[in-house]
Amino acid sequence: MLDTKIFFIAEIGINHNGDMDIAKKLIDVAVDSGCDAVKFQKRTVNKVYTEEFLNSPRKSPWGDTQRAQKEGLEFNFEQYKEIDSYCKDRNIDWFASAWDVDSQIFLRQFNLKYNKVASAMLGNVELLKTIANEKRYTFISTGMCTFEELDAVVKIFKDYDCPFELMHCNSTYPMKVEDANLRLIKTLNERYGVKVGFSSHEEGYVATLGAVALGATSIERHVTLDKTMYGSDQKASIEPAALKQLVEDIRLMELALGSGKKELSAAEMVVRKKLRGN
């Protein structure tokens, strides 16, 4: 289980653009900002997408088809070994959200502490059971689903006795602040009796800080070196300077939340004696 400190996940996802140097720079950014973990995404391209889709046109740095683009964004075993070694050297945990069963099995080759279920995978029962059967602490994003669908997901993880944490999420990129619906954090906590974090795709971070104030136990934010880089997730990501400031502000918010007890501090007693005389 995680401790009471808010667990901050820097979502690298596919923002590395298939470049190991960029991936390492993003890991460095996460470490330097005080993040607790970095997360990637893993897909078996031929399993996740149809042949028709993969053969369809799409211009990218890797070619003119969807296949070229999707394959260009994937790291292989040797590259993930390099990521694993680099994260150990930098003393930060890494994990990944798998988009198919083969990818989840692939990730078993590394001694990862955590798993992640992406919102898009909430209906993939075979994958959910594969993940839950590992019994690793799992973060489950809750975007794009109904309560009934989420009930089924939660049941799987409880049936497999797999520890998990939900992450409130609005799956728009970027998310408008008015769509954050942060009060759902409390609703999810009361409905399922588990910790609830917040996975945000907003521009800026006012909703993220609001989530912390409302009791979010984990935060996930996409990170990038530069929002103008190639990639569908870059615009909804946070750049290095803003990431560092966000983590600092979250740590301050943790202090500001306090214990909830009505207690007079020593500093307040000084003012009391001055203004009240006792």
pLDDT tens digits, one per residue of 212-222 = 999 999 999 99
Q: Which of 96, 84, 51, 83 is nearest to 70 (CA)?
A: 51
Average pLDDT, integer, range 30-36 = 98
The DSSP output letter for 187 is H
Average pLDDT over the chain reads 96
Q: What is the rounded distance in angstroms from the CA atom of residue 183 to the CA atom of residue 181? A: 6
Is the confidence at residue 3, as pLDDT, over 60? no
Structure tokens at 37: 């973990």
Q: What is the rounded distance in angstroms from the CA atom of residue 27 to the CA atom of residue 31? A: 6
Q: What is the rounded distance in angstroms from the CA atom of residue 123 to the CA atom of residue 105? A: 18
Pick among 3.40.605.10, 3.40.50.1370, 3.20.20.70, 3.30.160.20: CATH of 7-276: 3.20.20.70
* pTM for this entry: 0.94
The pLDDT value recorded for residue 2 is: 46
Q: Which range has the worst mean pLDDT, 4-8, 226-230, 247-251?
A: 4-8
Confidence of residue 153 (pLDDT cuts 50, 70, 90): very high
Is 236 in contact with 192 (CB distance < 8 Å)? no
pLDDT-above-90 percentage for the chain: 94
How does pLDDT run across 95-139, given as a tens digit for each residue? 999 999 999 999 999 999 999 999 999 999 999 999 999 999 999
Query: How many Cβ atoms from other residues are within 10 Å of residue 268's Cβ?
Result: 10
Is the confidence at residue 1, as pLDDT, over 70? no
Is the confidence at residue 4, as pLDDT, over 80? no
pLDDT-above-70 percentage for the chain: 99
Exposure of 139 by Cβ count < 10 A (0-12 exposed, 13-18 middle, 19+ buried)? buried
How does pLDDT run across 67-88, given as a tens digit for each residue? 999 999 999 999 999 999 999 9
Is 14 in contact with 231 (CB distance < 8 Å)? yes
Q: Which of 218, 237, 228, 170 is nearest to 26 (CA)?
A: 237
Any bridge partners for residue 105, and if so which? none
Structure tokens at 165: 């944490």
Is 56 in contact with 68 (CB distance < 8 Å)? no
- 41 Cβ partners below 8 Å, 6+ apart? 13, 14, 96, 97, 99, 118
Average pLDDT, integer, range 232-253 = 95
| Phi-psi category of residue 35: left, alpha or beta, with phi > 0 → left and psi -120 to 50 → alpha | beta
The pLDDT value recorded for residue 188 is: 98
